[in-house]
Structure formats: C-alpha cells, structure tokens
Amino acid sequence: AQSVTQPDIHITVSEGASLELRCNYSYGATPYLFWYVQSPGQGLQLLLKYFSGDTLVQGIKGFEAEFKRSQSSFNLRKPSVHWSDAAEYFCAVGAMDTDKLIFGTGTRLQVFP
C-alpha cells in the first residue's frame, strides 16, 4: 500500500539558514510526488511536483526538491529561509493506478529572526 512518512514533526531554523524537510514514500509503481505548504488558517498550496524527467525540481518561493528513487525520498530544500516560510509542509504521493493522493502527517516549520 502507498504510504508517506515525514519523520520530522517540528523543525526550527534561524532566518537565513538552509532548510531540508524529509519525505520518504513507499509505493511499487512510478510515484507522482508533491510538496504543499499550508500557512496558518489557510488551505494547502502546491510548492512543486515531480512526475518524471530531471530529478531536481524547482518550485515556487525558492524551494526545490530532489527525487531519489534508490532512497525512496523526495526531500524539500531551500538555501536561505525567510520568516514568511513559517508554515506547515506536506508531502504527498500519487500514482496512475490510484484515484487519490496519500499525504504525510506534515512538518511544522518555525523560523526565528
């Protein structure tokens, strides 16, 4: 069965520091991978997605993610975090043979000035 694991429930970084949020998935078929961001009191917004091709994908707000098939991972990165990046981040996986996405439980990012 499909599953998504976000091992870090809560991460705190200083503004300007680099960031990496981890996501591991379990699925036999070719995965379709997504990262979403949720600001407080808001719905989820797509940051980036990976379907095929280049394993390093660029998204909005300066985020990028790298698909590593051998590690079943799709980690989200940002070189320099801004205070406005404080939010909750969700990784999700889908596939051609399913009708739905499976979401991880989320990582809450706190940014200190």
Partner 1 sequence: NAGVTQTPKFQVLKTGQSMTLQCAQDMNHNSMYWYRQDPGMGLRLIYYSASEGTTDKGEVPNGYNVSRLNKREFSLRLESAAPSQTSVYFCASSEFPGTDTQYFGPGTRLTVL
Q: Of 23, 13, 15, 41, whose CA–CA distance to 103 is shortest? A: 23
By CB under 8 A, tell whether 42 contacts partner 1. Answer: yes
Report the run of H or E that residue 56 belongs to, with start and end: strand 56-58
CB of 90 to partner 1, least distance (A): 7
CB of 96 to partner 1, least distance (A): 6
By CB under 8 A, tell whether 66 contacts partner 1. Answer: no
Buried b (16+ CB within 10 A) or exposed e, 23-33: bbbebeeebbb
By CB under 8 A, tell whether 53 contacts partner 1. Answer: no
Binding site for partner 1 (CB under 8 A): 9, 32, 34, 36, 41-46, 49, 51, 90, 92, 94-101, 103-106
